[in-house]
Structure 1
Amino acid sequence: MGGKKEFKAAYFEKLEALLKEYKSIFIVTVDNVSSQQMHEIRQSLRGEGVVLMGKNTMVRRALKGLINDSPEYERLLPHVKGNVGFVFTNADLKETRNKILSNRVAAPARAGAVAPGDVYIPAGNTGMEPGKTSFFQALGVPTKIARGTIEITTDLKLIEAGNKVGASEATLLNLLNISPFTYGMGIYQIYDNGQTFDASVLDIEESQLLKAFSSAIATIASISLAVGFPTLPSVMHSVVNSYKKVLSVAIETDYEWEEISELKDRIANPDK
């Protein structure tokens, strides 16, 4: 019993120390990740990140104990569910993400496993003897006999993403030496400087942000000018438009100042 308490106390201390040392955390899924893969991921992150695993109940309890002093940690709690772990880092988030995701291994289909993506069988010669034709037919795989062997005539989606792999489907994929799945860490959520967000945010380029920002400024300016309500984006346009109106009035009247005199002279003498 004492050993358990000591282990929990040490874990809580380690988690607290890591939270203080690192500003960013990848909340990662570790379903079907082998111990060898975990070791390789730890090795690849050495010097720029730390992997911490633990029971969800223990992680939540540790975080709740820190919320009074650091309320931002509460944002982590909703994501501590399922088979997840933490990767702490102060390095570039994109680079760290790429290292986490690069360590994936191909795996054969297992009966009862849920397909993480659509599984296709490509057209082509299988090299199998005609006696196995009925096996393909039972699964709806279009075939013909070519040069004494079974040939799949068209590409076929055998399993849809989210469906369980059947025993016959698993057998067929293994016969064809197709390993349709890859297993490794997945990124569930990212915590950075007190905020949590989806990993897809890392794929947003600076040019996309600038384009969206410029578009938003243009929209605000247009609306402000249309309703006559001045805002920071519209002020310069309002000044320019007002100055144009002043110029128009001055050109049609005897009102003069140095710049308008030059403009009137150019209009009156275009060849000058």
Structure 2
Amino acid sequence: MDAATEHRTAHVPQWKVDEIESIKQLVSKYSVVAVAGIRDIPAKQLQEMRRNMKDVVKIRIYRNNLIQRALDESNSDLSPIGSSVGDQTALVFTDLNPFKLFQLLKSSKTEAPIRAGAIAPADITVVEGPTSFAPGPIVGDLQNAGIPARIDKGKVVIRETKVVAHAGEAVSHALSEMLSRLEIYPMTVGFDLRSVYDNGTILEADALDIDEAKYATDIATATTGAFNLAIAIVYPTPATVPTLLAKAASDARNLAINSAIPEPAIIDLLLSKAQSSAMALAGSITDPDALGESLQGLLMVGVVEVEVAAEAGEGEEEAVSATDTETEEEAVEENMEEEGESKEEEAAEGLGLLFG
């Protein structure tokens, strides 16, 4: 410590020295240091948020001049975030990714009552319907605050939906009190992240506030586009080589077939294609003398097969009908045979009785 620093330190109360040293120790311990605003956060909610996040972040509140002093003495890279120190400030120490830290602090924000004299952040609306209040002076208090109220069937009700304070307007004491009693909380309070130091990099809050779903969609779209481009320009990478090889094999196979290159892998296809072409050509020749007997036979077989296939579909219905008819005829014949046998048996019995 040089003489000038020692001289200044001699006039600084020990508790301030201790707090500066505490900040410097936390700065050296954590990779991420953030400056956050804490204005308008009620003490109870502030303590609750600190308690809920204690496992992943450490939040400390110091005087602004002590924060500035500690940042200046800790690391020259930290100095830029000192410009974010102002008003009511807290330091946040963590090893979380800055983007995760931003989302964590954002999600920790809660609704809170609006104080008298505070500016409405948005239009404040009371909705028509019953309240939990019993008839009494509360009706006059609500009306004095500009809230349309009356007694209906033994209950205090809001007569109509109404905007009782527009965005940018100051809220009166009477309205503030009635909104709290109606459990209408227009304010959203929480840590207002201003800037973050992350291992030598300074990030402002607007750079951290991203739409995660849109970001993921953009990454997926870019990845698909890059893959398709690599395939189109035949750019080999570990991700594209399997597709490029499959495409090259398919293109080579098609080229070999179209060029009639006799390769073992495609010889069967070439012969099948040649036979189909020959049969099509033969079928277009009208002079039977121009074709040999074997070729005419093949053509006739092809025609017969087509006719048989066509007749097969029609024959199925006829077969079903014929089967039903045959079944009925067989049943009639069986009945006639049974009746004939019965008559023969009766005749035999009669002869037996006659001739003893």
TM interval, shorter chain, is 0.5 to 0.7
TM-superposed CA distance for 1:249, in Å, is 1.9
1:119 equivalenced with 2:124 (yes/no): yes
Q: Deviations over 1:141-191 (max 9, x none)?
A: 5556634765323333323444321345335435x5435256753242555
Structure-2 residue corresponding to 1:170: 176
Aligned residue identity for 2:74:
L
Provide the C-alpha distance between the structure 1 equivalents of 2:262 and 2:63, rounded to a whole number of angstroms: 82
The alpha-carbon distance between structure 1 residues 247 and 77, as it changes in their structure 2 partners (threshold 3 A), is farther
- Residue correspondence of structure 1 range 15-164 to structure 2 within 5 A: 15-46=23-54, 48-68=56-76, 71=77, 73-74=78-79, 76-90=81-95, 93=100, 97=104, 101=108, 106-107=112-113, 109-126=114-131, 127-128=134-135, 136=143, 139=146, 141=147, 146-147=152-153, 151-164=157-170
Q: Which has the higher contact order (CA 8 A, sep 6+)?
A: 1
Provide the C-alpha distance between the structure 1 equivalents of 2:73 and 2:245, rounded to a whole number of angstroms: 57
Provide the C-alpha distance between the structure 2 equivalents of 1:263 and 1:84, rounded to a whole number of angstroms: 79
- Alignment identity in percent? 19
Aligned Cα root-mean-square deviation (Å): 4.6
The alpha-carbon distance between structure 1 residues 265 and 112, as it changes in their structure 2 partners (threshold 3 A), is farther
TM-superposed CA distance for 1:79, in Å, is 3.2
- Any idea what SS the aligned residue of 1:120 has? strand
Aligned pair count reads 259
The alpha-carbon distance between structure 1 residues 266 and 200, as it changes in their structure 2 partners (threshold 3 A), is farther
Q: Deviations over 1:101-143 (max 9, x none)?
A: 27x5843x4321123454331222354569957973983x555
Q: Deviations over 1:8-60 (max 9, x none)?
A: 43333222211121123454332233445555555555565432222334323
- Any idea what SS the aligned residue of 1:97 has? helix
Provide the C-alpha distance between the structure 1 equivalents of 2:20 and 2:167, rounded to a whole number of angstroms: 38
Aligned residue identity for 1:169:
L
Contact persistence 1:24–1:192 (CA under 8 A)? yes
- Residue correspondence of structure 1 range 182-197 to structure 2 within 5 A: 185-189=190-194, 191-195=197-201, 196=203
Contact persistence 1:26–1:187 (CA under 8 A)? no
- Any idea what SS the aligned residue of 1:65 has? helix
Aligned residue identity for 2:190:
M
Aligned residue identity for 2:119:
V
- Any idea what SS the aligned residue of 1:4 has? coil
Aligned residue identity for 2:29:
E
Structure-1 residue corresponding to 2:338: none
Structure-1 residue corresponding to 2:222: 216
Contact persistence 1:29–1:84 (CA under 8 A)? yes
Report which of the two has the higher share of helix. 2
Contact persistence 1:27–1:87 (CA under 8 A)? yes
Contact persistence 1:130–1:150 (CA under 8 A)? no
Provide the C-alpha distance between the structure 1 equivalents of 2:153 and 2:11, rounded to a whole number of angstroms: 68
Aligned residue identity for 2:94:
T
Q: Comparing 147-156 with 13-22, which one deviates more in the overlay?
A: 147-156
Provide the C-alpha distance between the structure 1 equivalents of 2:167 and 2:266, rounded to a whole number of angstroms: 72
Contact persistence 1:75–1:194 (CA under 8 A)? no
Contact persistence 2:27–2:74 (CA under 8 A)? no
The alpha-carbon distance between structure 1 residues 31 and 268, as it changes in their structure 2 partners (threshold 3 A), is farther
Provide the C-alpha distance between the structure 1 equivalents of 2:20 and 2:29, rounded to a whole number of angstroms: 14
Q: Which has the larger radius of gyration?
A: 2
**TM-score of the superposition, structure 1-length normalised?**
0.67
Task: Please list every run of 5 or more consecutive structure 1 residues that lacks an aligned counterpart in the other structure.
Answer: none
**TM-score of the superposition, structure 2-length normalised?**
0.54
1:253 equivalenced with 2:259 (yes/no): yes
1:11 equivalenced with 2:19 (yes/no): yes
TM-superposed CA distance for 1:216, in Å, is 0.4
Provide the C-alpha distance between the structure 1 equivalents of 2:170 and 2:236, rounded to a whole number of angstroms: 57
Structure-2 residue corresponding to 1:204: 212
Aligned residue identity for 1:97:
L
The alpha-carbon distance between structure 1 residues 209 and 124, as it changes in their structure 2 partners (threshold 3 A), is closer
Contact persistence 2:33–2:93 (CA under 8 A)? yes
